[in-house]
Amino acid sequence: MEERDFFDERQEQRTHTMTCPHCGQPGEYQIEWIVRRKKVQLPRGADERDRARFAKAQSYMVRRDDPMGCKNIRCRKRFDVTGIQSVAFI
């Protein structure tokens, strides 16, 4: 059984305040995340090893967007999202 079988997956957008490293202007940016929530029950056909893995599994989010474009009209340069973790446990 694979890890994907233990989770329900969906995409979600969250708002974060970030500062452009080029112009220094802060702004609100929508960052896309893949949210993987642990299922309530173990899927059918699982053996003892799968039950142990399911017991240790936690819900988590994975950041999907890495480069962002500055919202300042004069700047518009792209920068990497560095201040926000790429994987976060829920």
- 2-21 pLDDT, tens per residue? 888 899 999 999 999 999 99
Phi and psi torsions of 49, nearest 5°: -65, -40
pLDDT mean over 61-85: 90
Q: SS3 of 3, please? A: helix
Rounded Cα distance between 51 and 62, Å, is 24
- 14-47 pLDDT, tens per residue? 999 999 999 999 999 999 999 999 999 888 888 8
User: What pLDDT, on the 0 to 100 scale, is given for residue 38?
Assistant: 94
User: What pLDDT, on the 0 to 100 scale, is given for residue 23?
Assistant: 93
User: What pLDDT, on the 0 to 100 scale, is given for residue 62?
Assistant: 94
pLDDT tops 90 at residue 1: no
63: closest CA among 35, 86, 83, 36? 86
User: What pLDDT, on the 0 to 100 scale, is given for residue 20?
Assistant: 92
Number of other CB atoms surrounding residue 61 within 10 Å: 18
Q: Are 12 and 33 in contact (CB under 8 A)?
A: yes
